[in-house]
Structure 1
Amino acid sequence: MSTYDWIVLGGGVTGAALSYELAQKQFSVLLIEQHATLQGATRLSYGGIAYWSGTTDLTRQLCQAGWQRYPNLAAELGAEIHFRELDLLLTVAADRDPTAIASSYTDYAIPPRLLSVAEACELEPLLNPEAIAGAFTVRHGQVDPEAMTQAYQQAFVRSGGKIVIDSVMGLQRQNQRITGAIATQQIYTAANVVICAGGWSRALLAEAGLTVPLYFTHAELIETPPVDVQLRTLVMTAEMQRFQLEAQASTTDKEQQWQQPDTELSPFVLDAGAVQLANGSLRLGQISRVLSNPQAQVDAVASEAAIRTAVGQVLPSLQNLPGQWQQCLVAFSRDRLPLIGAVPETTGLYVFSGFSNPFAIVPPLAERFAEAASGQTDSILTQLSPARFATPVT
């Protein structure tokens, strides 16, 4: 039985990028992914690169570093990722005042510009002018999330890494040291294990008796096949309720509710938006729910109808397109920064999860993680460590 330097749990964009960077540093790396075909939050992502959205020195630096990687990333990985830049439209509901909302964008590295209804509709002809009071716009990056993840995985294998398809049930441990992953096919052993399982990361940590302030929403959207309709921009709401929901659901007083089965911590929210990928398929969404059970069931028929109605108000021609309701888990942290680094009270266990802006900052942070694993000190990773939440959660 092989023992690896690193086992990476989760083959989405975070796990694939981190595996690749670790292999580039000549570590022996095993990537364990439960699905042979990409599933979950990465596959259903908009693939957006919000390089403009940094609001602090830290997030601005990370967004800029990530954006600088993209022009050459496809060549580095040896595969197409469908990288492009397009206009993001942040729509303002007809009963809201755009000028009042403008102040919420002033701290961004590149503040979005306010457009009139006519200007917004000129930029995106599919918009319903009667549904909006205006919109904000800023240039925005995008990749095909599946293509980018596959490119990272393929480059990882060419670098000497190994991928296995298996379902991880828990972590192997000896006292306080994590020594591997217990999966359905076998036990895999390593000097270090890093959890990159997105919304499932919390459940894996809980299985090992560990509580880390890492949470998840149940995200619901509609995925269409390639269609003839052409959406020129990426359309989202200017007042994103999802982030407010995450903040409300991750306060310290909510931790006990997270540990209770089948608990809804707050009412769900619906942020109407749409994006078209390079192959012509669309993502329409999204509903976000905070349910403590990662396997919770919801009414798919009602959810799909609600999404179609909300998107149809803003983009009428998209409302009745053929498509399927989809659900996935989306990880988040208490302060909208990812959790990266050693898990407290253990040895050999790390997390690399909770990204609110993954495609913008995963590439530089995966590289920094690998450099730190090689012995380099990194002040940025120190700021993202799970240890920053020093007060014990009870």
Structure 2
Amino acid sequence: MRALKLALPLLLAASAAQADFDSCVAGLRSAAAAQGVSGATFDRAMAGVTPDMKVIEAMNNQPEFKTPIWDYLGTLVDDEKVAEGRNMLRQYASVLASAEQRFGVDRHTIVAVWGVESDFGKARGKMPLVQALSTGACLAPRRNAFFKGELIATLQIIQRGDLRPERLMGSWAGAFGHTQFIPSTYMRLAVDGDGDGRRDLVDSVADALHSTANFMAKAGWQTGATWGYEVRVPDGYSGPTGRNPKQPVSSWAARGVVKYDGSSLSGSGNAGLLMPAGRNGPAFLVFKNYDAAYSYNGADSYALAISLLSDRIRGRPGIQAAWPTDDPPLSREERRELQRLLIARGFDVGEPDGAVGALTRAAIKQVEAQIGMAQTGRPGGKVLRSLRGR
């Protein structure tokens, strides 16, 4: 009886949420019709759709904004990703050459976007777009306008026959395909890269890579220019920081900023001084091409991942300065090792795939408690060393 009393409020809440969702969907039908989506298309696409609360949870836990930047970059710009990126350069050399010539965006950057967005097509998302976007449109008041617009764009894609509905699988925010365009971006910027007359970012790598190059070009990419580079700032620096406002390179030089190797600053146009981990961490001078990468996802951690990965793929060194932490980030292989060691200790963390989910974090918390650390669930060097027995 007590269990029934506890469960009843949850059942009532779920029933109310479903009723609200159904009412909202009815309103979305009218909004879609105003944008040229037929009633038949809407009804077929929305048949049997129910809300997925994982969308709301994911929206409130975006890694670009929740994860320490050294952890975020540790898994996206590691030796494994660099090797995979160089392999993609070889495997799709002709496709990348044509995209580079067509849009003026270098192949290393195009491949870096591909690697960061979907791990070169291996992690494209498994949520049906219609379900994810309708959930957001109806149950996420803070961003319902965004989700509503993306849902209608998805329905327009379906109606036009560009992609089959069952191929429209992606992230909680509607990003899909090899380079994770959201539907409205697809409508504006997707292009045919393989010459078959279609724009298929799901099953055509050529379409996806050409479309990404088009995105970057439209975002202001300057052919042949740098995104930026790592710099040193004087001890006690207290001047401006941030991607914006940008200032002439000469003004940064006058403040004592130099390249990390001590040489003079270079580059044309204005630049911003980025210090993503504060005054005690790495610093970067960033130019207009960095802004093009930033526009893809609107986070400095993301733009740095693309920029640094593109540098590593072309053979340049990674970040030279140390992050301000005594608990270093782990690469993907180190995360897999950590998971294997947890499994050997009897923890259930699922498949040791390097993706740190709830089971892995719960196990890490127990290890942290055992070694006298705060229980954060973060996969860091200290926990890994402890599991190795060091």
- TM-score, normalised to structure 2, is 0.22
> Which structure features the higher share of helix residues?
2
Greater relative contact order (Cα 8 A, min sep 6): structure 1 or 2? 1
- TM-score, normalised to structure 1, is 0.22
Instruction: Find the structure with the greater CA-based Rg.
Output: 2
> Which structure features the higher share of strand residues?
1
